Amino acid sequence: MKTLVLVRHAKSSWKDPELADIERPLNERGQREAPLMASIYRQQRLLPDLIASSTAVRALTTAEIFAQHLDYERQRILRVPELYMAEDVDLLEFVHNLDDGWETVMLVGHNDGLSHFANRLLAGEEIGSMPTCAVAALEFLTHQWKNLRWHEGRLRFYLHPKMWAKDD
């Protein structure tokens, strides 16, 4: 069985209009929510064999925060420029080329591609649009990443920050 964990980057800052999109950092909310979600994810006891991230600052920072909470060495994060704003078909191509020795892979990326990817992979259910710092774990009955197909995944769990929001 293969497990694909999809993480949408935490909330980013639009404070500096001069920054290129790929350079935008996390804002205060993102800096709060990423450690929270990483900690909640850790409780699921599904440690990744590989963390792969878009090279956008907001995605890579989110990946590094998850890595820290999962005792995954930051230098082992695979930085993949092609994951930046990738569409669902690009994400599937990337996954098809993963090493079959990895059973659980975490991808940290962006919407709309990440949400479309998750929804197309799921069989008979949808999670809709993933909010920032959402985590979706999908399982596939295969031993080879190249065998992942649309509508064949089973949702193991879906987590997002609003599930833990405190009412004021």
Cα separation of the two ends of the chain: 42
Q: Which residue has the tokens 């992979």?
A: 121
Checking if the pLDDT of 96 tops 80, the result is: yes
Contact 66, 108 (CB under 8 A): yes
Checking if the pLDDT of 7 tops 50, the result is: yes
Half-sphere exposure for 75 (CA within 13 Å, toward CB): 0
Distance CA 95, CA 132 (A): 22
Q: List, for residues 109-165, the tens digit of each pLDDT value.
A: 999 999 999 999 999 889 999 999 999 999 999 999 999 999 999 999 999 988 876
Q: List, for residues 38-94, the tens digit of each pLDDT value.
A: 999 999 999 999 999 999 999 999 999 999 999 999 999 999 999 999 999 999 999
| 17 vs 55, more confident | 55
Domain limits, the chain: 1-9+52-136
Give the mean pLDDT of 30-41: 95
What is the predicted pLDDT for the residue at 168? 40
Distance CA 84, CA 30 (A): 18
Q: What is the pTM of this model?
A: 0.95
What is the predicted pLDDT for the residue at 166? 60
